[in-house]
Amino acid sequence: MTVDIEKAPPPPVPPVRRTVPGGQRPRRRAGLRLPGGWVPYLLIAPAVAALAAVLGYSLVRNVLISFQEFGRRQLISRTTEYTGWDNFRRVLEMDRFWDSVARTFVFTAVNVALIMIIGTLVGLLLRQLGPVMRLVLSLSLVVAWAMPVIAATTVFRWLFDTQFGVANWAMRTLGFEGYEDHNWFDSGISTLTIAGILIIWGSIPFVALNLYAGLTTVSAEVLEAARMDGAGSWRIFWSIIAPIMRPFFLITTFLEIIWVFKAFPQVYALNGGGPNRESETLPVMAYVEGIGQNQYGTGAAISVLTILILLVAMSFYFRLILKQEKEQDA
């Protein structure tokens, strides 16, 4: 008679422990580990340090000058005369300053609205075009975006020239009267209008190209399903594209407000803030009072007030952005 004996599993092999002479286990080298929350700050630290070195000194110096009587005499004699809040008090008592504040806000609001509307339409057009036409339009936008500001301002100054400008020639060709040697810069409104066209022309590419890049992330199946349900282009934009691209619209509007509010070369190079300082925005007024009138303390005070006004105005918009982000997270 035979008996089947099951084979027992082999006993577990004890782990091999490496030892060094003397019977001690080797120690692992402790690597340098940083808390995960500090890594992003360390990565941007060089850029922040460079910006602080380049811009920080200029900003601090400008604030100090705003509290000084700094004119031609102090510049030649190299003397420092602190006057406290006199420069700010003098600026706030100027009617021209408050006119520039109102003009700057209206100028910024109109231009930012047009930039966002036209830029959005061009971005949507890029999505609808074929490859060849999309490439042509994209290259045209990049060329307009890459053109230096002073060069573009010079071109616009020539387009609206009194004697040889293309604008006068086009108006006469279309049959309009009164455009023989017409001066497009004879009033502040027309000067700011031309400056606005220049700013809009140079800012549309940023909005259009970034919007098109964002639209490439929108699922084509979602848009096709909406069309099959009978939704038109306007309904698709407001119900699908706009909610998805809301962060883009918020941050782009934020950047455009800052860009237009501080626009200086487009306005000053066209007509120097004239005629009769009717086209002065806050940056132009700070330059005219500081560099043009050799009142550097007054110009510095205007620039400091400009920064404070922009920070206060943008704080409300920044709170709106944070509120929108909290609603999306919820």
Residue 254: predicted pLDDT: 86
Residue 214: predicted pLDDT: 87
Residue 1: predicted pLDDT: 46
DSSP 78-144: T---B-TTHHHHHHHT-HHHHHHHHHHHHHHHHHHHHHHHHHHHHHHHHHHS-HHHHHHHHHHHHHH
Residue 37: predicted pLDDT: 73
Instruction: Report d(CA 287, CA 269) in Å as an integer.
Output: 12
Q: How many CA atoms lie within 13 A of 330 on its CB side?
A: 6
Q: Tokens for 116? A: 């966002």
Question: Nearest-CA neighbor of 297 among 71, 123, 21?
Answer: 71
Residue 97: predicted pLDDT: 92
Predicted TM-score (pTM) of the model is 0.80
How many C-beta atoms lie closer than 10 Å to residue 117's C-beta? 13
Mean pLDDT split into 10-residue runs, the chain, 330 residues: 50 54 54 66 89 87 90 82 90 92 94 94 90 92 90 91 89 86 89 93 92 85 82 82 84 89 90 86 91 88 92 80 69
Residue 192: predicted pLDDT: 93
Residue 24: predicted pLDDT: 55
For each of the domains in the chain, give its residue range(s) and CATH number, in order of start. 42-329 (1.10.3720.10)
Residue 274: predicted pLDDT: 80
Residue 233: predicted pLDDT: 80
Angle, in degrees to the nearest 10, between helices 57-66 and 296-329: 130
| Contact indicator for 207, 256 with CB cutoff of 8 Å | yes
